[in-house]
Amino acid sequence: MTAAKESQAIEMEVLEIDGVVPAVKAERPPEGARPPWEKWQGRLRKLDRRWWPLWVLLGMVLLFLALTVGVVFGIVFVILRAVQGFFRMLLR
């Protein structure tokens, strides 16, 4: 019977002792319990120096693709203008 009484615990929240509010201790979760994206905050705002060759290569590829698409649209535009001029010449 005494073991059952000892296992019972009373939990209380202390609001005030002698007119002074006790300091609340902020408990941080253990490092493994935090979500992994909280550690990325500073990393997302800056690029790592070790990866600059990759970024330069990707930039060159994107520039090449943009120029290629621009040239293709330019050629299509010139061909359409030539065909339009040809039909105007025939219909006059």
45: which DSSP letter?
S
Answer yes or no: are the C-beta atoms of 21 and 15 closer than 8 Å: yes
List the beta bridge partners of residue 20: 17
* pLDDT reading at 41 higher than 70: no
| CA distance linking residue 79 with residue 62, whole number of Å | 26
Q: Per-residue pLDDT tens for 68-79?
A: 999 999 999 999
Q: Per-residue pLDDT tens for 47-64?
A: 778 888 999 999 999 999
* pLDDT reading at 44 higher than 90: no
Question: Does residue 90 or residue 32 have the better pLDDT?
Answer: 90
User: Residue 18 — left, alpha, or beta (φ > 0 → left; ψ -120 to 50 → alpha)?
Assistant: left
Answer yes or no: are the C-beta atoms of 55 and 47 closer than 8 Å: yes
Question: Does residue 84 or residue 16 have the better pLDDT?
Answer: 84
